[in-house]
Structure 1
Amino acid sequence: MNPKTTPAALQAQVSGSSFYAGMRVLPKAEREAMYAVYAFCRAVDDIADDQQGDRTSRHTALDAWRHDIDALYAGQEPGRAELVAEAVRHFQLDRADFHAVIDGMAMDVVDDVRWPDFATLDLYCDRVASAVGRLSVKIFGMEDADGVKLAHHLGRALQFTNILRDIDEDAAIGRVYLAREHLEQAGVDLSSPAAVAADPRLDRPARDLAALAHEHYAAAHAILKRRPKGHLIAPRLMGAVYEKILTRMEEVGWGPPRRRIKVNKAALLFTVARLWLLR
């Protein structure tokens, strides 16, 4: 086994992330599968965000991942995709979802995403977030009908929240993930990512996206409230924690200068304990 794909090595990659608490409450097999999926996502995300590499080399690196994923499903030598091999075998994960994640990262490589129309933004979120959710709900043991819907809604909700939290960091690398329609309606200056981030009118389009995020959180909560089959503490936790972050951002607004809202570790541990007791 590649030492980088052992459970301990994968856990080390995940331990610094905000998703770690949600993963560690899972049973061993599910937990290690989620570590592997997260490590895959981190690997391809690092390629997309590599500010030192040129676009051609980053495309080549993503294509290499596609090749390795295809080799894994064809029963050939999987190369770096070995890290998800056990998860794929154990939980029958869909190759299309791995490809979707890679395709989402490729959208950032083709050209830095800047104020896309909402349809393109939604496609991006489906690929980089809801596709990860579709892999996750299989690991959680959910049935397809509820699992796919939960992945759709919770994936969008979490990604919209991340977009709203990372406005300044994204603008610093030449990206703006807010929808063109919302920005234009507010009269925001679209001359550059820096101009968007500095525009005092940015609060309105940010709140437009926040409202959509709340709709997706509500839909996800409705699914989880029905108590469908599966290990549901992890998605419950992510929804609860990130919706609180969204609410805190709404309280302070998105007008510049902004301060980044962080996960409160004490509150996170309290939420984990509460969800565990109420499961």
Structure 2
Amino acid sequence: MTSVAHTSVSEETPVASRSSFYAAMRVLPLEQREAMYHVYAFCRAVDDVADNGGSRESRMGELARYRSDIEDLYATGRTTSRTADLAYPISKHGLRKSDFIAVIDGMEMDIVRDIHAPDWKTLDLYCDRAASAVGRLSVPIFGIEGDLGIELAHHLGRALQLTNILRDIDEDAAMGRLYLPKEALRDAGITETGIDAILVHPALDRVCRGIAQKTRNYYYRSEEIMARCPRRAARSPRMMATVYRGILEKLIARGWRFPRADVRRSKRYVLWAVLRDGIF
């Protein structure tokens, strides 16, 4: 496809500023920062299609339009309002069509039917599409190329997504979704199938602690990979890992017994992560 003119985006882009990743994006040089804003805006938009209500048919139709626009952008270079801001980052950083499509596929998994205790294989596929595919779009922009970037996207994407799942079990339940794997529920002796019953079951804490240990292992592996990356290129993903690893550890300290207090990270903690990782 042909390269197009680069369109500037404000540092205060609203779609980016709502995200916990905003601070990690802001430490990037201008061109990389703007590329990440545009990629993130696309991913956030398709995520909103999956989560913001409406009939399944209407949401599937909107995702189909995103899919068609991505296909057309790669095939012909033509853009629409959904893809205009992606043309430059794709051309500049060699972003792959398959990763944009994977993100759409992940959101489609949430629409076709509400996810309810998937098996581990299905959950891993969901994590790959919803998070690791975003990582695969991000690592070339960060400057982490080749297999090293793909490996980092694999492990850190799963770490971040599983942290979100462990943090948001009650929020997801309100939408009729339960991402905890059925094998883990079965192994803990939870035979109930209703989400409300599962979320108050005494063995839920055991289930979530097992998933948390698996998540920790993904963070460990991510840290090993980032240690092999150029330091400047790894600053943003390292910051994301620091903040989200902190959320995971806070969740582990709190536990998952009902009732559960909300766990978030303050702006002060994000600033600490920035300072700790030597960004300033």
| Cα distance, 1:203–1:138 mapped onto 2, change above 3 Å | same
Match of 1:42 in 2: 44
Deviations 1:255-274 (A, max 9, x none): 11111211121121021022
Partner Cα separation in structure 2 for residue 266 and residue 232 of structure 1? 21
Provide the alpha-carbon RMSD of the alignment. Answer: 1.6
Q: CA deviation at 1:186?
A: 1.2
Give structure 1 stretches of 5+ with no counterpart: none
The reply on whether 1:62 has 2:69 as its aligned counterpart is no
1:217 maps to a residue whose letter is Y
Task: Map 1:13-52 to 2 at 5 A.
Answer: 13-51=15-53
Normalization by structure 1: what TM-score?
0.94
Other-structure match for 2:72? 71
Q: Aligned partners of 2:143 and 2:137: how far apart in 1? A: 10
Q: Any idea what SS the aligned residue of 1:137 has?
A: helix
Post-superposition offset of 1:230: 5.9
- Matches of 2:77 and 2:28, distance apart in 1: 30
Gaps of 5+ in 2: 1-6
Q: Secondary structure at the match of 2:13?
A: helix
User: For residue 150 of structure 1, what is the aligned residue in structure 2?
Assistant: 152
In structure 2, give the amino acid aligned to 1:54. S
Of 150-159 and 86-95, deviating more is 86-95
2:186 pairs with 1:184? yes
Q: Does 1:242 align with 2:251?
A: no
Corresponding residue to 1:170 among 169, 172, 196: 172
TM-score when scaled to structure 2? 0.93
Question: How far apart in 1 are the matches of 2:136 and 2:228?
Answer: 19
Q: 2:273 corresponds to which residue?
A: 271
Gap change, CA 1:84 and 1:10, over 3 Å in 2? farther
**CA–CA distance in 2 between the matches of 1:137 and 1:14?**
18
After superposition, give the CA deviation of every residue in 1:198-254 in whole Å (9 maximum; x if it has no partner): 222211110111011011000000011123476211000011111111011101101
Cα offset for 1:37? Answer: 0.9
Indicate the residue corresponding to 1:128 in structure 2: 130
Counterpart CA distance in 1 for 2:12 and 2:270 is 22
Structure 2 counterpart of 1:55, one-letter code? R
Aligned mates of 2:263, 2:240 — CA distance in 1: 15
Any idea what SS the aligned residue of 1:191 has? coil
- How far residue 11 of structure 1 moved from its aligned partner, in angstroms, is 1.9
Q: Partners in 2 of 1:24 and 1:12 — Cα distance?
A: 13
Alpha-carbon distance in structure 1 between the residues aligned to 2:191 and 2:26: 43
The answer to whether residue 263 in structure 2 is matched with residue 261 in structure 1 is yes
Q: When the two structures are aligned, how many residues end up with a matched partner?
A: 273
Shift of 1:187: 2.0
Please give the alpha-carbon distance, in whole angstroms, between the structure 1 residues aligned to 2:191 and 2:10: 47
Pick from 224, 230, 233: which aligns with 1:231? 233
For 2:36 and 2:243, locate their aligned partners in 1 and report how far apart those are by CA, in whole Å: 18
Counterpart in 2 of 1:198? 200
Match of 2:141 in 1: 139
**More off after superposition, 6-15 vs 249-258:** 6-15
**1:172/1:194 contact within 8 Å kept:** no
CA distance in 1, matches of 2:227, 2:77: 42
Quick check: 69-78 or 95-104, which moved more? 69-78
Q: State which drifts further: 116-125 or 260-269.
A: 260-269
Percent sequence identity over aligned pairs: 49
Tell me if the contact between 1:189 and 1:195 (Cα under 8 Å) persists in the aligned partners: no
Contact 1:44 1:102 in 2 (8 A): yes
CA contact (8 A) 1:146 1:228 kept: no
In terms of mean alpha carbon deviation, does 98-107 or 195-204 score higher?
Answer: 195-204
- Structure 1 window deviating more from structure 2 (37-46 vs 67-76): it is 67-76
Alignment correspondent of 1:160: 162
Between 264-273 and 184-193, report the one with greater CA deviation: 184-193
> Counterpart in 2 of 1:89?
91
